[in-house]
Structure 1
Amino acid sequence: MSLWEILAVLCAAALALTRWLPARVRRRASLVAAAAVIATTAVVLALGARWQMVPVLAGAGVVLLLVVVALLRQRAGRPVRRLPWWMALPGTAAVLAVIATGPLAAWALPTPVFPEPAGRFAVGTTVMEWSDPERPETFTAAPDDRRTVPVQLWYPARPGRADGQPSYNGARTPQEAAEVQNALADSFGIPRFLVSDVARARTAAVFDAPVAPGAGRFPVIVFSPGLSGVRTSNTVLAQEWASRGYVVATLDHPYDAALTFVDGRPVRSRNKETVTEDRRKEARYVKDNVDLRAADFGFVLDQLERLDRGEIAGPLAGRLDTRRAAAVGHSRGGAAALAAARDSRYRAVVNIDGGLRDAGVRPFGQPALAITSPVSVEENADYVPDLDRVLGRGEETSYRLDIPGTGHLSFTDAALYFPPLPSLVGTVGRSEGLRVTADATTAFLDSTLRGRASGLPGLLRAYGDLAVYE
């Protein structure tokens, strides 16, 4: 909460408690508290009151009305009717409880604070939209509609805070961020107002910032979010990797992402249309979804190669080392990353808490890291056996790292603003799961893509319970 919000809460509570002061000081204290409530409320409203402040202002308004009525009656020489203490006490307690719901809501559903990336680079970002002439869009009836994938690039930028347009929750404007966040809320059945503060959150990335100087090329991470997720759902991780010297391409999968824009028109998720009680149809949809995402992985790497060669306009021409590329994803995106390993251009794969049931993933030749949460492992009996089957039959050494205290959303930006329920975000705190994930994945990628291979199992064991597949 901001300083003015805290002051508004304290003043409202103080005004409610003046009823219990001795008669000789009650009137003066009520006047002072009422003036303070009016002043702090005016400032909060002028700055833009968040929904969490509504119960605070409502409780303060009720008490203020009662106090003003009492003061006016005194001024007119009329008797002030006072309830007996045993009737007034529950009323005061109820008002204080209403006021207290404001700070409680602000704690449970806060405006997210994006951690500053730990790497040595500043972070730039830009958005591109690429159409694949070889693939028709299967979600539309138009025969000439081609598969189009919006991609957001996060890259090492010039040291220091570069001048440019700041990122609001990964978007160019708060309005765009709000549209995407509303679509995500609708997708998951959450009232929009509960996550309305997310669009205000500033991140470290700056749009179209100059690329970090030098002649070196940066390894590449192509990232797929979870089911209905969007390219900004994992901004914390994208910024972390970029600050540590990677170029990260986060994907919107059209008609899967809660909301994206293709040729300027909004495209919404159709995942709800696939909900069925027919087990075979559900399994077929999962497999089709994973295969489509895996194809997007391959297509985006094609385009990144063209971008590096200068065939596509962009700030990263000549700076991408696409020979050192990793397929990475969370949840459904993690399963798709493993499926994308059939493209041998990807030299490493990371699956962040992605179950493989019905995904049709087969063993592959690249080293892989699977990160799991205890909550996901406990809820799905097939989760670890499925990973064992794929990772244990691979051609290279792979790892499964179970990070204690994490939940499925500990690896996404939702951990910064969702209620801290252990079933959702574990018990590690709002940003700790993201920090540990960034450190563990960077250790793995530095080893597999940059050749810093010494002591990788020991490094990974520092972050959780490690299983090694050789």
Structure 2
Amino acid sequence: MTEIVAGLYMSPPEVLALSAAAALVVARWLAPAARPPVTIAAAGVLALSAIVLSVLGLRWQMLPVLAGGAVALPFALSPLLRSRTGRPAWRARWWLALPGSVACAGLIATGPGAAWAFPVPVFPEPSGGFPVGTRVAQWTDPRRPESFTADPHDRRTVVVQLWYPARKSPAGTRRAQYLGRTEDEARTVSDALARQVGLPGFLVDGVPRAHTHAVFNAPVSDRGGRFPVVLFSPGSGGVRTQNTAWAEELASHGYVVAALDHPYDSAAVVLTDGRAIRTRTASTGDRDKDTALSAGWTAVRAADLSFVLTQLDRLGGGEIADPLTGRLDAGRVAVTGHSMGGAAALRAARQDHRFDAVIDLDGYPHGPLSPSLHQPTLALTQAITPGTDPRYLPRLTAALKLNTLTSYRLTIPGAAHLTFTDGPLYLPPVPSIVGSLGRTESPRVVAATTLAFLDSTLRHTPGDLAGVLSSYGNLSVHHPDDSR
């Protein structure tokens, strides 16, 4: 059930069930000649839609629709059945029928409202000139012990999803599952993410049903030469796929995006052997302790990012057999992240000068601010005041001012913390949660600003970067001389 009717966030069988249930309620109020055909047709469509939805997988949003239709059905059919047996048709007086009709209509209307609030996400069509392919790799670092387990032989393993410019796939090719390689993996990850924020898993049951625009294991494009590389670290408890819309947009413009799962930190990581590793990171409620913990977790993530860059370098050079061999440009690499992933990106760039640019998506800089950054840096943030977080802006500003190259901080009006993820595509449009930019505008703004920065810093595309960025919000530019 992947085809969604625009605006309603409902599949065609769901729309048919909704229409049939509504018709059964309305049938009571039609002219006598119109009641029989409408009732019979609506009852048949409702029954058929219920069967189809049961086979495809019934979403909880449809339960009130089916319940409303089921309650209205006997009252709509009863006069027809009585007339067929020769008994006089009995219909309740309008003032008795009206409350029941209103109640059924209200129950049925709950369905599309719930489907709109918790939809199957519809991913924006990538705007670049390349189709997008994706695949997943799992790499183990033999030199690093796994710090989250007591096994001295356990070595740090990361799961990486790559989005890359691909050749055009034949029409009808199945698109990649969102949140996982299979629907089972997607459900495991979706349930873990829901638990992470305290939501019942059924509320977001539409998310693992979604498909994106990428094609798994699609052939790499034969155009474009060597592609710049962008590494991505998700937020605390986040997963590698949490910024899929953004990754697909970048890949369609000729970048290779490598997004990481950080085992024991990400909400759930499904390994190639089928094991699901759950998060072991949790705040204590004590600010000082949490600050120290966050700094430690950020250090692990930064090491993961450097390790993955090494693997990508080996892959690009042919040491690891891969279709992308010879197509990665290890001399043009950006490191990015959201929230704690943004902090990890900043830390990785300080420690590893192979990274040529940094993007921090609303991430507080955990850990030390030294050594200084030596890469152009873009920090995208929501509107933050001393009242909402007195530490955030001073620390972020300090980190950017210490940079030996130009840094940019762009505050996007109407943004919230989850604006910088796929969250607006499937969470209720509550401004405090996903911002007020909307489901279409949120991914567009994040992609447009980061693409402008990457094109300028990695591809050295001429243009007024500050002018482009400032058109999306309030821009602060920190030049190296400003901190001297």
TM-score category by the smaller chain? over 0.9
Which residue in 1 is equivalent to 2:163? 154
Amino acid at match of 2:322: G
Give, in angstroms, the shift of residue 56 of structure 1: 0.6
More moved, 19-28 vs 262-271: 19-28
Structure 1 gaps of 5+ residues are none
How far apart, CA to CA, are the structure 2 residues paired with 1:42 and 1:161? 31
Distance 1:84 1:257, change over 3 A: same
1:130-187 Cα distance to aligned partner (Å, 9 max, x none)? 1112211011111011111111111111245599763111533222222221221222
CA positional deviation for 1:214: 4.8
* Cα deviation 1:109-147 (Å, max 9, x = unaligned): 111111121111111112111111221101111101111
More deviation, 81-90/237-246 = 81-90
Q: 2:240 maps to what in 1?
A: 231
1:143 paired with 2:117, answer no
Aligned partners of 1:25 and 1:441: how far apart in 2? 58
Against the structure 1 CA distance between its residues 345 and 32, is the aligned structure 2 distance closer, same or farther, given a 3 Å change threshold?
closer
Aligned to 2:127: 118
Match of 2:305 in 1: 297
Assess if the C-alpha contact under 8 Å between 1:410 and 1:430 holds in 2: no
Deviates more, 1:60-69 or 1:78-87: 78-87
Q: Quick one: which of 242, 256, 262 aligns to 1:247? A: 256
Higher mean C-alpha displacement, 424-433 vs 34-43: 34-43
RMSD: 2.4
Tell me the distance in 1 between the aligned counterparts of 2:46 and 2:220: 49
Q: Which runs of 5+ in 2 are unaligned?
A: 1-9, 480-484
Q: CA deviation at 1:240?
A: 1.1
Shifted more, 88-97 versus 73-82: the winner is 73-82
Following superposition, the deviation at residue 83 of structure 1 comes to 4.4
Question: Is the Cα–Cα contact under 8 Å of residues 223 and 250 in structure 1 kept in the other structure?
Answer: yes
Q: Is the 8 A contact 2:379 2:410 kept in 1?
A: yes
Residue equivalent to 1:333: 341
Q: 2:279 aligns with which of 269, 281, 286?
A: 269
Match of 1:387 in 2: 396
Q: What is the 5 A alignment of 1:151-230?
A: 151-159=160-168, 166-169=175-178, 171-214=180-223, 216-230=225-239
Using the TM superposition, give the Cα deviation of residue 33 of structure 1 relative to its aligned residue in structure 2, in angstroms. 3.9
What is the distance in 2 between the residues matched to 1:135 and 1:46? Answer: 47
Map residues 391-470 of structure 1 onto 2, 5 A cutoff: 391-470=400-479
Q: Percent identity?
A: 52
SS in 2 for 1:169: coil
Distance 1:93 1:138, change over 3 A: same
1:371: which partner in 2? 380
Q: What secondary structure sits across from 1:167 in the alignment?
A: coil
The CA deviation at 1:355 is: 2.1
Q: State the shift of 1:263 in Å.
A: 5.2
> What is the SS of the residue equivalent to 1:10?
helix
Contact 2:361–2:380 under 8 Å retained in 1: yes
Identify if the C-alpha distance between structure 1 residues 26 and 170 changes in structure 2 by more than 3 Å, giving closer, same or farther.
Answer: closer
Distance in 2 between residues matched to 1:451 and 1:242, nearest whole Å? 18
What is the rounded CA distance, in whole Å, between the counterparts of 2:135 and 2:40 in structure 1? 54
Partners of 1:377 and 1:35 in 2: how far apart? 60
Change (3 A) 1:26 1:281: same
Closer, same or farther in 2 for the Cα pair 1:446/1:378, shift >3 Å?
A: farther
For 2:404, the aligned partner's letter is E
Q: SS of the counterpart of 2:192?
A: helix
Count, aligned residues: 467
Which SS does the other structure have where 1:180 is aligned? helix
Cα deviation code 1:78-128 (max 9, x no counterpart): 566654544432221111100000111111111111112111111111211
Kept in 1, the 8 Å contact 2:230–2:257? The answer is yes
Describe the SS at the equivalent of 2:76. Answer: helix
Aligned counterpart for 1:308 among listed residues 306, 316, 319: 316
- 1:328-352 Cα deviation digits (max 9, x unpaired): 0011111111111111111110001
The 5 Å alignment of 1:335-354 reads 335-342=343-350, 343-354=352-363
In structure 2, what residue type is equivalent to 1:134?
A: R
TM-score of the two chains, using structure 2 as the length reference: 0.90
Q: How far, CA to CA, are the matches of 1:67 and 1:32 in structure 2? A: 12
CA–CA separation in structure 2 for the residues paired with 1:162 and 1:20:
46
Q: Is the 8 A contact 2:179 2:190 kept in 1?
A: no
Question: CA–CA distance in 1 between the matches of 2:36 and 2:357?
Answer: 72
Q: Distance in 2 between matches of 1:36 and 1:204?
A: 32
Measure, in 2, the Cα distance between the counterparts of 1:270 and 1:367. Answer: 33
Shift of 1:23: 5.4
Q: CA 1:43–1:295 in 2, change beyond 3 Å: closer, same or farther? A: closer
Verify: 1:319 aligned to 2:312, yes or no: no
> Residues 392 and 49 of structure 1: is their aligned pair in 2 closer, same or farther, counting only changes over 3 Å?
same
Q: Deviation at 1:407?
A: 1.8
Q: Which SS does the other structure have where 2:316 is aligned?
A: helix
Distance 1:14 1:350, change over 3 A: same
Show the counterpart of 1:15.
Answer: 24
Query: Quick check: 1:162–1:210 contact (8 Å CA) kept in 2?
Result: no
Q: Tell me if the contact between 1:376 and 1:408 (Cα under 8 Å) persists in the aligned partners.
A: no
Of 457-466 and 152-161, the range deviating more from structure 2 = 152-161
Q: Which residue of 1 aligns with 2:289?
A: 281
Aligned to 2:5: none
